Amino acid sequence: MLRIALIGAGNVGYHLGRRLAEKGCAVEQVFSRDKKKARNLAEQIGAEPIDHLKAVSSNADLYILAVSDDAIEQVAERLSEHLPEGKTVVHTSGAAPSTLLAPYFQRYGIFYPLQTFSRQREPDFNSIPICIFSPQSELEQELLGLARTISQSVHRIDDEQRAVLHVAAVFVNNFSNYLFQIGQEILGQEQLPFGLLQPLILETAQKVQEYPAREMQTGPARRGDLATIEHHLAYLKKFPKFRALYEVLTREILEEWLKG
Amino acid sequence: MLRIALIGAGNVGYHLGRRLAEKGCAVEQVFSRDKKKARNLAEQIGAEPIDHLKAVSSNADLYILAVSDDAIEQVAERLSEHLPEGKTVVHTSGAAPSTLLAPYFQRYGIFYPLQTFSRQREPDFNSIPICIFSPQSELEQELLGLARTISQSVHRIDDEQRAVLHVAAVFVNNFSNYLFQIGQEILGQEQLPFGLLQPLILETAQKVQEYPAREMQTGPARRGDLATIEHHLAYLKKFPKFRALYEVLTREILEEWLKG
């Protein structure tokens, strides 16, 4: 059985570690600088909690670095100081290239679950796309196989493609979440409950599970309804930042549909 | 039993008519300029299909105008020409004021289901917020009662509040759908399947069903990760429109979290 050392117990490490253990992988160690986090996760999955990188065992078959992007290189370097040669190391980042690991390990790759994780919510791992890459094709096959044990959506995605995915993910996740925040702030200012918008948000996301986003577009800009746009801009004078954003997005949608 | 004439068989009329009928309301007529649409809906709910406004019966207790915003006034005027005095007329728009109806009817109000409807998808009506308003408080109570038969989320929302809701809805629905479209276009350009982003979109929407959007914010701008932002902007040079939007949104999130 594959013996895994999981380096990092943040949101990605936490859920990935639990899922791997659930599917029968031997996650033998959990490292976190935060002792409590290491212990919490390790207890759940029958692993040894550690809070020093020097305590990372030489016996694992796979080292998964689920640490923040700017820590990957430093952690890789420090691990390489005491791990024997030939060890396999992957990281879980959407943004960092696999080549960050190249100076330190001969067998390296990517194991990137494309989802937004938070401690409180149990993800449906089966549908989470796992993006796999390694320049060593044999290792890549092994990683694809491992990924298939925890998800039905497994993809070979090279560094360049992964960088593109990450940009697109910023638009659909970070930026749309910011729009949700704007909606919430506008309603809050007017003492209206956010519950009024929650079903709309969910339905908007559900529609693009089935249909192309462009075909699902509605609203005043889509219709070229300039009177409503004027009303909205007049109202938004009390939120200058939101008003500027409304203008930019409306202009882009208007242009999109004028040309279309 | 309340006898209803439904004017309009577009997305809102279609789903609202079906839901009212399902809950035992007598929808006796369905009007649409499009004969086929009128007939299709009318057949499903045991109503009479009509395609001339003059054929709208004088016997209904409630006339629901589910027509586009810019048709409301004209339809109200034409109905008022042959309907007897004292009839009750509501419209279903999020953007148009109730007072559009005031010159033509003494008993008027709003029956606004706050959701994005499309023909293909069956909405979960029980959770759709229904926004009710009438300047006649007795009528308002009747409309609130009717709304409660089709949804568990019924709210009294005056014209001013509804206008605010509509602005906020543009941000969370129309604008975020446009961001989903951008994600889809970027992936399409690179021959990557949109399925890679769909679970992320759904999870982003599901998170704000439970937690405040601001607390759920993640990503390079949230972290102040300028290196990743630079990489993204460099990549986006091939999509100048998306790049400008990326800059605006990133700047706003950066400012939000610098001050926070």
Complex-level ipTM: 0.95
Q: Give pLDDT, residue A14.
A: 98
B197 and A165 within 8 Å at the Cβ level: the answer is yes
DSSP-derived letter for residue B23 is: T
Instruction: Please provide residue A108's backbone torsions phi and psi, each rounded to the nearest 5 degrees.
Output: -145, 165
Looking at the predicted structure, is the pLDDT value of residue B191 above 90? yes
Q: Are residues B177 and B145 in the same domain?
A: no
B203 and A123 within 8 Å at the Cβ level: the answer is yes
pLDDT bin (cut points 50, 70, 90) of residue A105 is very high
Single out the residue in B107, B123, B157 at which a domain terminates: B157
Determine the average pLDDT of the residues in B125-147: 98
Mean pLDDT of chain B: 96
Smallest Cα distance from A110 to chain B, Å = 16
Q: Give pLDDT, residue A1.
A: 80
Write out pLDDT tens, residues B221-254: 998 999 999 999 999 999 999 999 999 999 999 9
pLDDT bin (cut points 50, 70, 90) of residue A13 is very high
Q: Are residues B19 and B66 in the same domain?
A: yes
Restricting to B residues 78-117, those with a Cβ less than 8 Å away from any Cβ of A are 95, 114-116
Q: Are residues A31 and A123 in the same domain?
A: yes
Looking at the predicted structure, is the pLDDT value of residue B133 above 80? yes
Strand A107-113 relative to strand A130-133: parallel, antiparallel, unpaired? Answer: antiparallel
Q: Are residues A15 and A66 in the same domain?
A: yes
Among the listed residues B146, B67, B51, B127, the one whose alpha carbon sits nearest the alpha carbon of residue B100: B67
Containing domain of residue A238, as a range?
163-259
Q: Give pLDDT, residue B260.
A: 57
Single out the residue in B157, B181, B206 at which a domain terminates: B157
Q: How many domains does chain B have?
A: 2
Q: Are residues A65 and A177 in the same domain?
A: no
Write out pLDDT tens, residues A164-205: 999 999 999 999 999 999 999 999 999 999 999 999 999 999
With the C-alpha atoms ordered A242, A247, A248, A250, is the resulting torsion angle positive or negative? positive
User: pTM, whole model, 2 decimals?
Assistant: 0.94
Q: Give pLDDT, residue A149.
A: 97
Q: Give pLDDT, residue A118.
A: 87
Asked if B175 and A222 touch (Cβ cutoff 8 Å), the reply is no
Q: Does A173 touch chain B (CB under 8 A)?
A: yes
Asked if A105 and A89 touch (Cβ cutoff 8 Å), the reply is yes
Q: What CATH number corresponds to the domain at position B109?
A: 3.40.50.720
Looking at the predicted structure, is the pLDDT value of residue A258 above 90? no
